[in-house]
């Protein structure tokens, strides 16, 4: 039987994450960040020269710029005024247009820890005064998962995805990400599932099956909205019948942007959900 020896052939290919960073994660577009803007209040850096506001016409020019930036984005993920420009990662589909057109303001970041505990925490730079909300949500989620067994069971449900998210979830089983090694398993039965990984735009015909699946899960149960489509329907916001993500169907605990999110992001989100992330890592994320 040739397979047995074959299994050993490549040595260890499994990523060390979360204990160590995975070099690959740095290689691609994880999320969009704002490098700098007219005013440096929010971002701390300013690569775009700050106009002298006492000069006539400068305010109009700022408004024009803000409007231009907003129009760059095909999914309305950019919100700009004259003080701050924000990217709503929950709507961003990583098309790269803003980075290509205004590389002085936007950039891709290889971050894989993109999951957020609420919809409003998906904006970068962060909306103000969310410290409290985040603490609260963290605590709540912590309480919820406290009683979870050592092994975590995950059930996936597709509510109208483009098929790519399923590939990336399935990739968690390949030897590189190998989540079974970390005590996380996929299960076919919702009754055994602790986590529901929901993908897709929230297609109306999937509402009933989704509710049935959710109701069949035992407490405590965590729902992860996986991918920009699941969060806001992304480019499908315009579709008919209108879709707007799965939040109107299921109660979401964790929001993972990306189109689709990479396997590393999905893994990291599951870790965050069940409190498996090393504490230091969480701290670092919170500081950002």
Partner 1 sequence: MSDDRLTISTVSLANFKQRVLLAASNGRFAAMTAYRNDDQMFYIEVVVSSRSEINLIRASLELNQKNYPSLSPQIPAAIWYEREIHDTYGLIADGHPELSPLVSRPTECFKLGRLDKNDADIRGSKVMGNVRGEGVFSIPYGPVRSGVFESIEYRVYSFGEDIPLVEIRPYYKRRGVASCFEKMTVEDGVILAERVEGTLSVAHATAYCQGLEQLSSTRPPKIAELGRVILAELERIANHLDTMVRHTEAAGQAIAYARLSFSKERIMRLRSLLSGSRFSRGIVVPGGLNAPLALSPMAIITAITDIENIMLSDIEALMTTPSFLDRLRNTGKITVAEAAKTGAIGPIARASGSYEDIRGTRPYGGYRYLGFNLAPPMYQGDALARALVRIEEIRQSLHLIRQAADEIAEINPASLNPESWRCNLEIKDGLVVSSVESPQGELLYHLEVSNKKLKRVWVRCASFHNMALFPTAFKGDILTDFAFIEASFGLCIAGVAG
Q: Catalog residues that contact partner 1 under the rule CB under 8 A.
A: 2-4, 6-7, 9-10, 13, 24, 27-29, 74, 93-96, 100, 108, 156-171, 173-176, 186, 188-190, 200-201, 203, 205-206, 209, 212-213, 229, 234-236, 238-241, 243, 259-260, 262
CB of 47: closest distance to partner 1 in angstroms?
A: 21
CB of 114: closest distance to ligand SF4 in angstroms?
A: 12
CB of 77: closest distance to ligand SF4 in angstroms?
A: 4
The binder of 249, among partner 1, ligand SF4, none, by C-beta within 5 to 8 A per type, is none
Check binding of 32 to ligand SF4 (CB under 6 A): yes
In Å, how far are 151, 169, 230 from 16, measured between CA atoms? 19, 18, 28
CB of 95: closest distance to ligand SF4 in angstroms?
A: 4
Nearer CB in complex with ligand SF4: 30/263: 30
CB of 67: closest distance to ligand SF4 in angstroms?
A: 14
- DSSP states of the chain: -HHHHHHTTT------TTTS--GGGGGS--EEEE---SS-TTTS---SPPP-TTSTTHHHHHHHHHHHHHHH-TTS-EEE-SS-EEEETTT-----HHHHH-TTTEEEE------BSSGGGGEESPPTT-HHHHHHHHHHHHHHHHT--SSEEEEEEESS--SHHHHHHHGGGSTTT-GGGGTEEE-S-GGG-SEEEEESS--GGGHHHHHHHHHHSPSS-EEEEESHHHHH-GGGGG-SS----STTTS--SEEE--SSPPHHHHHHHHHHHTT-S-HHHHHHHHH-
Nearer CB in complex with partner 1: 213/268: 213
CB of 210: closest distance to ligand SF4 in angstroms?
A: 26
Site for ligand SF4 in 98-157 (CB under 6 A): 98
Residues in contact with ligand SF4, total (CB under 6 A)?
14
The binder of 113, among partner 1, ligand SF4, none, by C-beta within 5 to 8 A per type, is none
Nearer CB in complex with ligand SF4: 78/224: 78
The binder of 169, among partner 1, ligand SF4, none, by C-beta within 5 to 8 A per type, is partner 1
Question: Strand 123-124 and strand 152-158: pairing?
Answer: unpaired
Site for ligand SF4 in 43-102 (CB under 6 A): 72-73, 75, 77-78, 87, 92-98
Question: For residues 174, 177, 180 and 184, what is the CA-based torsion angle, rounded to 10 degrees?
Answer: -130
Distance of alpha carbon 30 from alpha carbon 28, whole angstroms: 6
CB of 206: closest distance to partner 1 in angstroms?
A: 5
Nearer CB in complex with partner 1: 141/234: 234
Interface contacts to ligand SF4, rule CB under 6 A: 32, 72-73, 75, 77-78, 87, 92-98
């Amino acid at each position: 039987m040739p397979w047995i020896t074959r299994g050993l052939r490549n040595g260890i290919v499994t990523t060390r994450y979360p204990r160590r960073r995975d070099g690959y994660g740095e290689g691609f577009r994880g999320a969009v960040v704002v490098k700098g803007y007219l005013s440096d209040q929010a971002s701390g850096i300013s690569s775009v020269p700050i106009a002298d506001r006492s000069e006539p016409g400068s305010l109009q020019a700022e408004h024009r710029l803000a409007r231009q930036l907003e129009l760059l984005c095909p999914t309305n993920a950019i919100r700009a005024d004259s003080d701050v420009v924000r990217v709503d990662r929950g709507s961003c589909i990583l098309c790269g247009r803003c980075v290509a057109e205004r590389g002085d303001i936007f950039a891709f970041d290889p971050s894989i820890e993109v999951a957020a505990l609420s919809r409003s925490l998906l904006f970068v730079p962060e909306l103000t005064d969310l410290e409290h909300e985040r603490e609260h949500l963290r605590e709540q989620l912590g309480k919820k998962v406290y009683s979870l067994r050592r092994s975590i069971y995950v059930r996936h449900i597709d509510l109208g995805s483009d098929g790519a998210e399923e590939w990336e979830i399935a990739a968690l089983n390949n030897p590189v990400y190998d989540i079974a090694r970390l005590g996380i398993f996929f299960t076919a039965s919702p009754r055994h599932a602790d986590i529901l990984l929901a993908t897709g735009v929230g297609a109306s015909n999937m509402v009933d099956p989704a509710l049935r699946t959710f109701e069949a899960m035992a407490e405590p149960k965590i729902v992860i909205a996986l991918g920009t489509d699941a969060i806001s329907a992304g480019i499908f916001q315009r579709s008919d019948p209108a879709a707007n993500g799965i939040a109107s169907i299921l109660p979401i605990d964790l929001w993972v942007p990306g189109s689709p999110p990479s396997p590393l992001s999905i893994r990291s989100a599951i870790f965050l959900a069940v409190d498996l992330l090393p504490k230091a890592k969480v701290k670092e994320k919170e500081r950002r």
